[in-house]
Amino acid sequence: MALALGGYFSGDSNVFTASLVTVQTWFSSRFVALQDFLTAPRDIATLRQRNAELEAEVADLQAQVIQLQQAAGDTQIVAALLDFERANPQNQYKLAAVIGRDPSPFLQYVIINRGSNDGVLRGMPVVTNQGLVGRVDAVIADAARVQLITDPASNVNVRLQNAEENAALTGSVTGGLTLDLIPQNVDVEEGDVVLTSGLGGGYPPDLIIGQVVKVGGRDLDLFKQATVQPVVDFNRLPIVLVIVNFKPVEIAPLLPSP
């Protein structure tokens, strides 16, 4: 054995070892193949389980990504609203999330998650950093209903920034804004900015509403009309600000009774 391992029988042993190795290789390969065959189902089951675990993990991570993206979007909106709040220190604001819309498609209202418990009262104006949204129409303890300026029953006293002329802004069932009661002698052009006038005491003055996009009406009419494009996207209104230190003036008792 020692001589063989020492290489003294190399010539004779080569034939023997080569055939031995061949036989061992044959057995080994067959054994491995058999082992693979016998253990493969168990591996597939393990792999399937692992795959399911990984898929669940991926789903969780995707959900987290969506949540984080949403949180990032909300943070951007809140940051913009905070900037707006800092730029307008004369008002006190209450941040509110829009949690629903009016069940009737004939009306343009939204529901916010702040109510009388948070100091929100009926008539308070609602804005975003872009401009005027509407005003609080009804309040319960933890929620409030806001009438948008696009509601067909909404009427806002406005002024044209360039013309320094007052007019009335009304909504419609389709969500459009129409500027009415513009005197014929007033020069209104597309692009003119429309702001709240503060007349009537329903809204604070100088809140941006939108821009004139189309001037209409005939020369024979008493007043001109114009279509206004609002600066606020009312279809995407996740967070709003309620101006809580504004007290609307109730002018109904001052109006002459018919």
Partner 1 sequence: MRNLIAVPVILLAVILQSSIVSRVTLLSGFADLPLVMLAAWALQEDVDTAWHWALATGALVGFVSGVSWIVPTLSYLVTVALAQALQRRVWQAPLLAMFSVTFLGTIIGSLLSFAALQISGVSLSISDTFGLLTLPILLLNMLLAIPVFAVMRDLARWAYPTPEVE
Q: 96 with 113: CB under 8 angstroms?
A: yes
Q: Examine residue 73 and tell whether it contacts partner 1 (CB under 8 A).
A: no
152 sits in which H/E element = none
Residues in the chain, total:
258
Q: How far apart are CA 61 and CA 67, in angstroms?
A: 10
- CA 55 to chain CA centroid, Å, is 28
User: Is residue 167 within 8 Å of residue 139, measured between CB atoms?
Assistant: no
**Minimum separation from the CB atom of position 82 to partner 1 (A):** 26
181 Rama class: left (phi>0) / alpha (psi -120 to 50) / beta: left
Cβ contact 227:176 at 8 Å: yes
| Contacts with partner 1, 111-150, as mask; x by CB under 8 A | x-------------------------xx------x-x---
Our finding on whether 107 is near partner 1 (CB under 8 A) is yes
Binding residues among 170-189 for partner 1 as defined by CB under 8 A: 172-175
C-beta of 105: minimal distance to partner 1 in Å?
5
Name which of 152 and 198 has its Cβ closer to partner 1: 152
User: What does the per-residue mask of binding to partner 1 show for 226-245, with x meaning CB under 8 A?
Assistant: ---------x----------
Query: Which residue, 148, 154, 122, 115, is CA-closest to 250?
Result: 122
Question: Mask 14-53, x = binds partner 1 (CB under 8 A)?
Answer: ----------------------------------------
- Enumerate residues 81-100 that contact partner 1 by CB under 8 A: 99-100
Residues of this chain that bind partner 1 (CB under 8 A): 99-107, 109, 111, 137-138, 145, 147, 151-153, 172-175, 235
